[in-house]
């Protein structure tokens, strides 16, 4: 299994490109090599990252399996459980959401399969990686609702004393929400929903005990540009996220007619109108935010950490030097691999604190 480095500058295969256009009309939105949307709503996503099965090298010491969360919406999850250590030891559970601007990505992507298997091993935890519906076919709040369904489903496994093999290793009183990029955005909104719930809407999920959130390069936006967005040229070559790509992802994911100051994109904008201490930025008991120094989202991520702290939340902000967006899954450079190990160490310390 090898992670694949790619960027939005990749192009779609030239062979047959004119045929879909003839069938589906003009291209209305495109991020080169990643997604192409046609006038009639047809969507193409080139298979630039392989989809892989649950298989893992035996020597890694991690078992993996898939489970159906909701057959009607095709929401499913992939579990990672370390084999080492005391077999009856209960481990913390991380519910993880993959990135991809809400428009691309999969829990079966080879780069996520490799990263999360290693993360489960390094942190010594069980990981539930959720595969949610994608925009533009399923614009927001579909991804949030799928995340909500996943938590409700997880709560039912506990309440119904499920005999699934992975449940025998889970400590359901130590659950963390996590994700990277768009997945971190999902984790944030689920955390805020859990914090504001009165105990009725999330009855099944509230049977779990959520200890915190782990947000890796959370995908937020806004109409006004930040300094890190204005100086995007400082990004590493072939960055996984450019300003233009970010704008396109949000245009495809948000409800029609919305701009980037919509609360789903810019969660701090509503707080700005109501006052920072309004409680809108309430999340789980504690939050870890991993920021990349050469990411266009750097300033938004740092601002988010400040808003959480000002609203009375316990937040830890870690800056990873010299790397860009999604480096932990998309880059094989020596620096990126070193920073990915640092990230895993921070996550492990946060989970086991």
Q: Catalytic: 181? A: yes
Q: Quick one: which of 16, 12, 41 has its CA closest to 26? A: 41
- R_g over Cα of the chain: 19
CA–CA dist 306, 294 (Å, integer) = 19
DSSP code, position 314: E
Q: Are 235 and 83 in contact (CB under 8 A)?
A: no
Backbone angles phi, psi at 42, to 5 degrees: -65, 140
- Token couple for 281: 């930025």
Give whole-number Cα distances, 209 to 260, 262, 283, 287, in Å.
Answer: 33, 30, 14, 15
Helix spans in 96-236 (H): 110-123, 142-159, 182-196, 227-230
Backbone angles phi, psi at 139, to 5 degrees: -65, 165
Burial of 243 (0-12, 13-18, 19+ CB in 10 A): middle
Strands, sheet with 170-180, edge to edge from the N-terminal-most edge strand: 62-70, 75-82, 126-131, 91-97, 170-180, 210-216, 286-292, 314-320
CA–CA dist 98, 137 (Å, integer) = 18
Query: Where are the strands (E) in the chain, listed by range?
Result: 27-31, 35-38, 43-44, 62-70, 75-82, 91-97, 126-131, 170-180, 210-216, 286-292, 314-320
Options 64, 106, 129, 181, the catalytic residue: 181
Report the b/e string of 69-93 with b at 16+ CB within 10 A.
Answer: bbeeeebbbbbbbbeeeeeeeebbb
Which amino acids are annotated catalytic?
181
């Amino acid at each position: 299994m090898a992670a694949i480095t790619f960027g939005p500058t990749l192009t779609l295969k030239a062979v047959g490109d004119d045929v879909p256009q003839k069938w589906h009309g003009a291209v209305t939105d495109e991020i080169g090599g990643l997604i192409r949307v046609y006038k009639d709503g047809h969507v193409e996503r080139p298979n630039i990252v392989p989809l892989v099965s649950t298989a893992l090298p035996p020597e890694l010491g991690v078992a993996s399996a898939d489970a159906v969360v909701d057959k009607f919406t095709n929401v499913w999850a992939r579990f990672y459980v370390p084999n080492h250590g005391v077999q009856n030891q209960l481990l913390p559970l991380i519910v993880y959401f993959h990135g991809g601007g809400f428009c691309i990505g999969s829990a079966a992507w080879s780069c996520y399969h490799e990263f999360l298997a290693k993360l489960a091993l390094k942190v010594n935890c069980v990981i539930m990686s959720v595969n949610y519906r994608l925009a533009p076919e399923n614009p927001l709040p579909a991804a949030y609702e799928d995340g909500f369904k996943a938590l409700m489903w997880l709560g039912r496994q506990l309440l119904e004393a499920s005999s699934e093999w992975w449940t025998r290793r889970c400590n359901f009183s130590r659950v963390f929400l996590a994700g990277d990029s768009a997945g971190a955005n999902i984790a944030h909104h689920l955390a805020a929903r859990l914090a504001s719930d009165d105990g009725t809407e999330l009855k099944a999920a509230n049977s779990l005990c959520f200890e915190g959130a782990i947000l890796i390069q959370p995908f937020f936006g806004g109409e006004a540009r930040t300094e890190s967005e204005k100086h995007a040229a400082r990004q590493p070559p072939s960055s996984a996220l450019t300003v233009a790509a970010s704008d396109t992802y949000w245009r495809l994911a948000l409800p029609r007619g919305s701009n980037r100051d919509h609360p789903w994109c810019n969660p701090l904008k509503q707080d700005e109108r109501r006052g920072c201490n309004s409680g809108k930025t309430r999340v789980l008991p504690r939050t870890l935010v991993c920021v990349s120094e050469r990411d266009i989202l750097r300033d938004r991520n740092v601002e988010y950490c400040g808003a959480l702290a000002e609203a009375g939340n316990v937040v830890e902000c870690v800056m990873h030097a010299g790397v860009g967006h999604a480096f932990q899954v998309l880059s094989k450079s020596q620096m990126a691999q070193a920073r990915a190990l640092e990230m895993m160490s921070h996550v492990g310390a946060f989970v086991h604190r």
